[in-house]
Amino acid sequence: MDLGRRRGLRLAAFGTLLAVVALPAYADDPTPPPPASVTDVNRSLEQLQAEAAAVQADFAKATIAYTKALKDAQTAEAAAKKAEATATVSKGKADEERRQLGLLTAQAYQLGIPTVMGTESMLWSLAPVAENLQEIADRQTAITQLGSTQVSQYRMAMEAENESNRLKSEATTKRQAANDAAAKAQDLSKQVQQKAADASAAMADQTADLDVASALSKQLQLVRNQQALARWQTYLTELTSAKITPPAAAVLKNPAKLPTGLAPLTRRGTPVPGVASAAVAGRTVRVMSAETIRAVNQAFSLVGKPYGVAATGPDKYGCLGAARVAWQPYTTLPNLVSKVYPDYQAVPNAWIQPGDLLVMGSKSLGLVHIGIALDNGEMIAADEAKGSVVVTTVPDNLYAALRPTLGAPAKPQVAPVGTSDAYAFRCGNTATSYNVGSGAWTWPLPDGTYEIGTPFGQSGSMWETGFHTGQDFPAPVGTTVRAVTSGVVRVEHPAWAGNLVRIDHGNGLETLYAHLSRIDVTDGQQVKAGQQIGAVGTEGNSTGPHLHFEVRLGGDPVNPMPFLATGSASTGWGGYTNGMIPASKLCGIGGGHMLRCDAAAAYLQLSSAYRAQFGKSLCITDSYRSYASQVDLYARKPSLAALPGTSNHGWGVAVDLCGGIDKYNTTQYQWMKSHAPTYGWVHPAWAEQGGSREEPWHWEFGNPASS
C-alpha cells in the first residue's frame, strides 16, 4: 500500500473534494462556498503536525549536542581531577625519594666516603634535607650500605622526578581539555536556550490554528466517508440497472461451478473464489454475494459512530465490534482479532474485494486491528486515532485479508502471538510511548562521520507522503551504517530507496536504513546494536550521499530524534504531535487540569475510590503539558525534566500527585500502588524507589487490568 495515502487528504485538495459531494442546489451558484472556518485556515492539520515535528526535531538536535557536550565536560573534569590527584601523589613520592637520596649523600659526606655524584647532583640531592642530620642512626651500617645504595637511590629519585613532571604536564593538558569542554557545554547551553525560545514561539503560533485545523480534518473525513459511500451506491445502482440479483455466497464459492450467466472474476489470470463477473452490454460487471453486499451496507451504516474500547454498539464501536456487526447474522466473529484469523479463509492481497476482513499487525507484535475492505485501497474501521468508525486507507501493516463467505481455511492459519505491547497499537492507534532501552541503543553512523540533515516532518512535494518520514544524515559514500539495536533483517530494493535494510526489533518497532551503496547483511539475519549492516550511498530518490533513517511503530513513521537522544520516546496519538493536542480533544478533571479523555475518565474513577478511602479527592499538581511548557521546564530543570516531545504529560496520560502520594511508603502512596492499576494508572519502573529517576508523585495511564 502507498504510505502517502494513509496520512489523509491535503488542504489543497479540499475544494475539489467538495465539488464531488452532493450538496443542496442554489439558483445562482450550484456549489455553495465552504464554511469560513475552512477558508480561513492556511495550514492543514497534517501540515501543522509536520511543522511541529520539525520544530521538535530541531530542538532535539540541539539538546542532543548539549547533552553530549555536558557529558564530555563531566568526563573531562573527572579525568582532570584524577590526573591532578595522581600528579600530587607522584610529586610526594618524588620528593620522598629525593629526600632519601639527600640523607645518603649527607651520610657519605660525614663519613668521608667518596660520592659517585657530581657537585651539581649533590647539591640537588641535599636541597630537601634538613640542616639537622641526626637521622643517621647507625654509623657502621651506613658505611656498609652507602657504596651500593647511593647510585640506586639516585636513579630512583630521578625516575620519580621525571614521572612527577610527566603527570603534572598530563594533568595540565587534561585541565585545559576540561576547561574547553565546559566552555563548549556552556556555549551549547545558550544555543539550547535560544532553541527553546524559538520552539516555544513556533508552537505558540501553531496552537491558535490547531482547533480549527482539527475541525477541518473532521470535514475532510466526512467528505471521504461520503465519497466512498457514493462509489458503493454507484456499484449497487449498476447491479440494479443490469438486472443482476446478487446470488447467495454458496453459489460463488467455487469459480469452476458458477451458474449460467456468470463467469469467473480473474486477477492476474487466476479465478477469484467468492466473487464472479457478468457481461452486460459489452461491459464486465463484478458480482458479489448477497451476504457480502449486506455486510458492506451494514458497515457503511456504522460510519460516523463514536469509537469505544472493546465497544460493540449500538452507540460506540471498537474495531472488532464494528467488523462483527457488519458480518452478522451471516457469521459471528470471535471476540479477539487473533481468533478471527484462524477461522476464515485468507486470500492474496491481489484478490481483495469489498467486504473482506482486513487484519493488521505483524509477526513480532500480533494482530491489533481489523477493518472491512472497500475498493481504492480503503476500508471501513473503528479507528481509535480518529475517534469514530471511518473510511480510511488500508495501512502498511496489513497482515492478511480474510473472506468470510469462503468458510474455514483449507490449510491451518496460525495467528502471530500477541505481545504485551500490542494493546498500545489497538484499532489504528500508534503507541503513546515506547521504551527501547537506553543501554541497547546506538546511533546509525559512527561519531564524527556525519552531519544532521533534513529532519523528520519537513513538508514538501518531493516526498510522496507530503512530508519527510525519516531523519537524514549526510555522510560520504562508504561510511559505515550500523544497526541501532538488535533485531531481524529484511533486505528490500524499493525504487525510492534503492537499497534498503529494514530491521524488525519486535513488539511493533522497526528501523529503516535507505539509499545504501552496499548491504552487508542478509534476509533473516539476526543483528546486534552497533553491528555494521551496510554503507552510506545515494541510491534511489536521493539528492546526494546520505543515510535516510526511519523509526516505525506499528507501521507508522515517527520522529527518530527523541529515540536517538534518549533511547525511548513518546510518539503519536490521535494524529497529533506531543504537547500539541487541541483542547477540544482533551477532557477536564478539575482544577483546570486536562487529560486525554479515556485517561480522564479512569482518573475520575480512581479519584472517587481514593475519596471513599481518605475522605478527600486526589491532590494533583500537573497533568497535560503543552510542548511550550515542556521546553520551559527542560530549560529550567534539564536534569529532571524529560526531553521535550518525549514526555507522557505531552500526551495527556500522565499526572503528578501530592497530598502524601508524593512520598514513598506513606499510607496514601501504598494505597495507590495497590489500587491505581485497577483503573489503568501505574507507577512506572523508572520512577520507583531505586529507579533511574525517583519520582513517587509521577503516575501514568497504561493498560487497564480489565483489558
- Residue pLDDT, tens place only, 303-312: 999 888 788 8
C-alpha closest to that of 323 among 367, 271, 274? 367
| Domains along the sequence of the chain with CATH | 45-117+134-238 (1.10.287), 291-433 (3.90.1720.10), 458-565 (2.70.70.10), 583-701 (3.30.1380.10)
Q: In the structure, what pLDDT confidence band is assigned to residue 147 with cuts at 50, 70 and 90?
A: low
**Cis geometry, peptide bond prior to residue 314 (ω within 30 degrees of 0):** yes
Cα distances from 30 to residues 227, 230, 546, in angstroms, run 18, 19, 51
Exposed/middle/buried for residue 115 (C-beta within 10 Å: 0-12, 13-18, 19+): middle
DSSP 156: H
Q: Which among 43-57, 409-423, 480-494, 690-704 has the top mean pLDDT?
A: 480-494
Query: Residue 456's pLDDT band (boundaries 50, 70, 90)?
Result: confident
* Nearest 10 degrees: Cα torsion 340, 345, 346, 351: -130
Distances (CA, A) of 487 to 484, 500, 525, 621: 9, 15, 8, 40
Single-letter residue type at 4: G
Q: Which residues contact 152 (CB under 8 A, 6 or more apart)?
A: none
pTM of the shown model:
0.63
- In degrees rounded to 5, what are phi and psi of residue 519? -115, 125
Q: What is the pLDDT of residues 495-516, one digit of tens each?
A: 999 999 999 888 788 899 999 9
Give the integer Cα–Cα distance in Å for 305 and 313: 9
Mean pLDDT over each residue of the chain, to the nearest integer: 80
Judge whether 292 and 375 are in contact, CB under 8 Å. no
For the stretch 30-82, pLDDT in tens is: 333 333 333 333 445 656 666 666 676 677 777 777 777 777 888 888 888 88
CA distances from 299 to 193, 269, 373 (A): 52, 30, 10
Q: Which three cell numbers stand for residue 383?
A: 479507528
Residue 466's φ and ψ, nearest 5 degrees, are 90, -10
For residue 443, give the 3-state DSSP assignment: coil
